[in-house]
Structure 1
């Protein structure tokens, strides 16, 4: 593995061989929010592009959505899970901090002696989990890895705060990552990982400590966001990270068939498109009808585009997660499913 300024290039035969997703039944529309806080459909759409989001039922949690996304994948692709040798779940909203959600998935599907870990990298979590899966397969010690991105953000959203409650929704997506043969064209092409930890206090959820560095935090257990600061970071540092990634991989923006970013806010996606030269029409988003689903946003968008035929085998995709941390994680891959 080689590293240069945050960019990782390594030889791995990893490829995605199956995909599934899940969205809760309940919809929370902008009209619903008009009855909860001082806002309007026009105000929300103009600033975020979001029209509705899916909300987990009262007794439905992240583990339930993980299970549903995996079942979706199994039903669609008829894959076998018994020989999965590692499970990675990316989430910021686990039902419990331990047992981890990956262990819950292992138990639910009766998977044998597999490793099971959760990854907490907020909105960059799913891509970070794919990076880890590719690395584990590159070692030769693992051959079949289940990777899930799942969030129950409604459980940690303050519905009296109109600046955050309009953004977040719930959902899950799952992929199977398997080792291919050495004579097959590579699917995993390159990755990038960047973090601006000194900006992390602008987006957090409180836990044990009463402060982040020297900054006191609100101990309410809800998402707290300095929207302006996060927006400024996203429209400056994220395009810089993407341009660095493109330059180091030798890929031009127009060479991409699809750009699959985290879906935080349509205004951010528009700014990223303008500053990187990646056309908005090549950007996959479910934001308008799912809201910001953090670690679940990329696999949900991927699955929808695979099902409707937009993503096809052989196409060049850039997956790019960014958010809490404040972190970025990218994966360039040749779609092989």
Structure 2
């Protein structure tokens, strides 16, 4: 029999510091009402100067392992999806490996921006199903506050920090039914951090021109996202031999409430079947989907046997969607 890969446990971690919209009224020409109306965001979490992406990742990973009743020595592989690693190398995943004492685990990062968690989960699925690894930690984590220009109204108000994690392993029933991934490099300039790599190494000029911060063409990203979120979800459902009527719950990337509402409309879902925490956390890039997934599970919105759709989009441009038949009972949290 072919192995089935599924989620064995979930976890998340959010920094304690909260920045609300009124904070930005002091920095730029904006208002709480304008931000809420345009984005749906009321506040976001931000790390302090001592908190790193690996720190957030470690906290989320430990919670996911607890939920899955997994010891560190039983972890075979750690994949961290992040656009804000602690450093270029070593990988953030290796730092997590040391922090949690996963002495038997391989570790690597992937950089797919906001689609990263679904990409990483897809990789983990293959490793479990082909019997390469048994227990895989998949983490989406970001400290985006460290790469923002707080004078840029188009980006500063949108992003927050956080981490979410899952343990992927073999399940007897249900599991990850399908995944669909895609990319379009023609949109590479719509959402990027231009400097810091081999094309534009750090220099006096790149720092002065703020090229180490997030640059975004908001209208282009919005038009792309409204189209691709629904399309990707439908493709993943098709691969799972299901249709939109089979969806019990949708967990979308938390970028903009209007994008989320458009996705739900495309799938003919009422908003009570869609998880939204955008108002509390803003866009956490690769962390958005796993944090929302963990919260939805903790709150009892996801139950064993439910068909869950995860969907996201991000810089690259990239996108990904997955259909999961939920395999674990709630009540695992103290």
Deviating more after overlay: 112-121 vs 145-154: 112-121
How far 1:303 sits from its partner (Å)? 0.9
How far 1:327 sits from its partner (Å)? 0.8
Q: Which residue of 2 aligns with 1:290?
A: 281
Q: TM-score scaled by structure 2?
A: 0.91
Give the Cα separation in 2 of the matches to 1:26 and 1:219: 25
Evaluate the alpha carbon distance shift between residue 244 and residue 141 of structure 1 in structure 2; reply closer, same or farther with a 3 A threshold.
closer
In the alignment, structure 1 residue 261 sits paired with structure 2 residue 249: no
Q: Which residue of 1 aligns with 2:263?
A: 272
Deviating more after overlay: 52-61 vs 243-252: 243-252
Give the Cα separation in 1 of the matches to 2:68 and 2:5: 18
Q: Which residue of 1 aligns with 2:190?
A: 202
Give the Cα separation in 1 of the matches to 2:122 and 2:163: 18
How far 1:244 sits from its partner (Å)? 2.9
Q: Which residue of 2 aligns with 1:3?
A: none
Q: Deviations over 1:69-117 (max 9, x none)?
A: 1233345554312111111000000011111011011111111232101
SS of the residue 2:321 aligns to: strand
Give the Cα separation in 1 of the matches to 2:98 and 2:7: 23
Q: 1:192 aligns with which of 180, 188, 205?
A: 180
Given that 1:12 and 1:186 are in contact with CA atoms closer than 8 Å, whether structure 2 keeps it comes out as no
In the alignment, structure 1 residue 23 sits paired with structure 2 residue 23: no
Question: Pairwise mapping of residues 129-278 of structure 1 onto structure 2 (< 5 A)?
Answer: 129-180=120-171, 184-206=172-194, 207-208=196-197, 209-210=199-200, 220-278=211-269
SS of the residue 2:153 aligns to: coil
Q: How many equivalent residue pairs?
A: 320
Given that 1:12 and 1:134 are in contact with CA atoms closer than 8 Å, whether structure 2 keeps it comes out as no
Q: TM-score scaled by structure 1?
A: 0.91
In the alignment, structure 1 residue 105 sits paired with structure 2 residue 100: no
Q: Which residue of 1 aligns with 2:30?
A: 39
Evaluate the alpha carbon distance shift between residue 143 and residue 248 of structure 1 in structure 2; reply closer, same or farther with a 3 A threshold.
closer
SS of the residue 2:156 aligns to: coil
Give the Cα separation in 1 of the matches to 2:307 and 2:149: 39
Any unmatched runs of 5+ in structure 1?
Answer: 1-10
In the alignment, structure 1 residue 310 sits paired with structure 2 residue 301: yes
How far 1:197 sits from its partner (Å)? 1.3
